[in-house]
Amino acid sequence: MDVTRRAFAFFGATALSSIALSGRAYADVPSNIRGVLVQETAGCCRVTLALDRPAQARTFFLSEPARFVIDVANSQLALPGGAVGQGPGAGLVRRFRYAPQEGGNARVVLDLEGPASLVRQEIGGRRSATLSFDIAATTPSAPPPAPLERPARQQARRTVVIDAGHGGRDPGAIGAGGTREKDVVLHCALTLRDALQQRGYHVALTRDADSFVELEDRVRFARTQHADLFISIHADASPNRETAGASVYTLSDSGADRAQNMMASQNWDLDLDTRNALARDILVDLAQRDTTNRSAQFAQLVIPRLGQVAPLVRNTHRSAGFFVLLAPDVPAVLIETGFLSNSTDERRLGDPRARERMAEAMAGAVDAYFATPVVYAAAR
């Protein structure tokens, strides 16, 4: 996933295609950030950036001290205080600071009272070019859940769905040497498919050629395949060319909430025996929580193995609301194989033998994952 498209993973295919149609001249004109507003709302804190035209943004958290960073691509800070300054926070946000970044990007940093997570984010579309983010304080982790029996499908042949990011008209990140993310990740996906098939897994790919696949269709595909595991493969890019290494993402708790909403809006039926709406809610919630746990479990297995064959980004297991991770009953991870903006990583990702080593590492993690006993959570 590259810098500019990362944010769009949250908004889904509709936003992606509308931007794709919006034309080149449109995208080339920088947007002006005219206002930043921090408001305390029910249970969270809303940060709104007012722009004069739509822009793409990426966000991330930093710790010690806790900060939330919003990088807006191709934009200028046209705030009353000038291009560099600060403003008042509210609730969880102590204050915000802003400054231009290299490469024509603008950065807004929110200084936080403590650790937080992204609950929701929105863009206003082409008419109202607003970026809005809801962040909430991270609640301390719950006591360990009591185990239940695993109900079914223990012995079946495992199905792994591999999702090569981007494709077709969506090239993804472009490397310093011209490598396109969509090509590199397809090669990685095909290599991983071979490695998994050799180990006896049933493997299905969301794309096996240079074709465009909507994000929603990728998720739907994983569900119709009754995937036991979903692995989305991407390559990153950063304005900082020094940044290198692989990273692994799973669904965050806030993303899990989104999955609930998405399921409701799309009439997705979970494969569960439901007697009434309440029972259904509880069962969905259990399936959801188990999925999140299982995804994290796979992430913990794949990270050290990847680390043996490739450099890793620090704090590599990250939680995110990436759209493709949102199927409520399929454990899913998104693996960023490296940074195409870094020339060493770009060379590594372009080397078939390096890709094979990564595929073997991932396949080893898949073996370990299915060998790990399943623990079903009974209570939060």
CA atoms within 13 Å, Cβ hemisphere of 141: 4
DSSP 208: S
Helix-strand-coil split of the chain, %, nearest 5: 35, 30, 35
- Per CB under 5 A, the segment of 99-107, 170-178, 221-229, 337-345 that binds Zn ion is 170-178
Determine the interface stretch with Zn ion among 59-67, 101-109, 168-176, 292-300 (rule: CB under 5 A): 168-176
By rule CB under 5 A, what count of residues binds Zn ion? 4
| Region of residue 74 (left: phi > 0; alpha: psi -120 to 50; beta: else) | left
1 vs 312 by CB, closer to Zn ion = 1
Q: Which is nearer to Zn ion, 129 or 246 (CB)?
A: 246
Q: Does 1 bind Zn ion (CB under 5 A)?
A: yes
Span interacting with Zn ion, options 11-19, 59-67, 163-171, 243-251, rule CB under 5 A:
163-171
Q: Which residue is nearest to Zn ion (CB)?
A: 1
**Contact call for residues 54 and 33 (beta carbons, < 8 A):** no
Closer residue to Zn ion, CB minimum distance, 215 or 227: 215
Q: Which is nearer to Zn ion, 4 or 76 (CB)?
A: 4
Min separation Cβ 181 and Zn ion, Å: 5
Nearest distance, CB of residue 324 and Zn ion, angstroms: 10
**What distance in Å separates the CA atoms of residue 89 and residue 135, rounded to the nearest whole number?**
13
- Cα torsion angle, 310, 311, 315, 319, sign: negative
Residue 339: CB minimum distance to Zn ion, A: 11
Binding residue for Zn ion (CB under 5 A) from 54, 91, 172, 331? 172
- If binding is defined by CB under 5 A, does position 338 make contact with Zn ion? no
| Closest to Zn ion by CB, 1 or 129 | 1
**Nearer Cβ to Zn ion (223/234):** 234
Residues 263-282 that bind Zn ion (CB under 5 A): none
Name the minimum Å distance from CB 232 to Zn ion. 9
Of 172 and 321, the one with the shorter C-beta distance to Zn ion is: 172
Q: How far is the CB of 262 from Zn ion (least distance, A)?
A: 20
Alpha carbons 180 and 146: distance in angstroms, whole number:
46
Characterise 184 by phi-psi region: left (phi > 0), alpha (psi -120 to 50), beta (else). Answer: alpha
Instruction: Pick the closest to residue 326 from 249, 379, 247 (CA basis).
Output: 249
Least distance (Å) from Zn ion to the CB of residue 167?
10
Closest CA to 32 of 133, 130, 134: 130
Residue nearer to Zn ion on the CB measure, 117 or 337: 337
Contact set for Zn ion, span 16-35 (CB under 5 A): none
Question: Taking CB under 5 A as the rule, does residue 175 contact Zn ion?
Answer: no
Nearer to Zn ion, 1 or 259 (CB): 1
Residue 107-146 contact track with Zn ion, rule CB under 5 A, x = bound: ----------------------------------------
Q: Between 252 and 297, name the residue whose CB sits nearer to Zn ion.
A: 252
* Least gap, CB of 76 to Zn ion (angstroms): 26
Q: Where are the alpha helices (DSSP H) in the chain?
A: 3-11, 13-21, 24-28, 181-198, 215-224, 253-266, 277-309, 343-350, 352-371
Are 330 and 222 in contact by the 8 Å Cβ rule? The answer is yes
Asked whether 359 and 351 are in contact (CB, 8 A), the reply is no
CB 332: neighbour CB atoms within 10 A? 27
By CB under 5 A, tell whether 165 contacts Zn ion: yes
Contact, 130 vs 49, CB < 8 A? Answer: yes
Give the separation between CA 321 and CA 11, rounded to whole angstroms: 10
Backbone angles phi, psi at 108, to 5 degrees: -115, 125
Write out the binding residues for Zn ion, residues 197-256 only, by CB under 5 A: 234
Binding site for Zn ion (CB under 5 A): 1, 165, 172, 234
